[in-house]
Structure 1
Amino acid sequence: MNEQELSERIEQGAELLDQEYPEWFSEIDEGRLDLRSHCSDVLAQLFGSYKDGLRFLEMEYKEAQDHGLTILNEDGDVPDIDEQYIALTRLWREAINKRLTA
């Protein structure tokens, strides 16, 4: 996935959170934010765990990827997954800052 695709997915995820969990962005600890970890990703910080966040949003793993909340690598077909997660985290920080400064 390229950065534009990641950015579009994150915007969908952020818009969903805007609807389902207003002011969600004010509860994220950006210093702890790491999309590689289900202990400190967006959903874990908001709902206590990644899986609890999926349940709250009534979302499956594929939908989570479509909303920029994870990167599925079931077949090991994402050779640059670490770089993608780094980009995903950075782009979520940008989405959060955009909302904080609006």
Structure 2
Amino acid sequence: MSSNKLFNKFYPMFCQEALSSNISSKLAAGVLKGKKLVSKVCCNTSRNFCRGVECGSLHAEANALLSYFGKSLQFNVVTGRWCLKPRTNKKCEKT
């Protein structure tokens, strides 16, 4: 699928979400994996806390990443950044 077709497929959905935003910066974002939308479409938010961490607001793209990765994202207080939790290599044992 060409980028033009992807744009035409997702643009109306993103526009609708952006226009429903209650703040003046009307932006929307989502996470695409290949040619599929794998997260919900999110817009900018004006909130003070996100998972117990104080933040002025969440940009649409950051909100979409939080929506997609969920609890796999954690805040690193040392660096002041959000990062993915390291994967653990657990082997399943057959019983």
State the TM bucket, normalised to the shorter chain: under 0.3
**TM-score, normalised with respect to structure 1:** 0.26
Question: Which structure's residues are more often strand, by fraction?
Answer: 2
**TM-score, normalised with respect to structure 2:** 0.27
Question: Which structure's residues are more often helix, by fraction?
Answer: 1
Structure ID, larger Rg: 2
Higher relative contact order (CA 8 A, sep 6+): 1
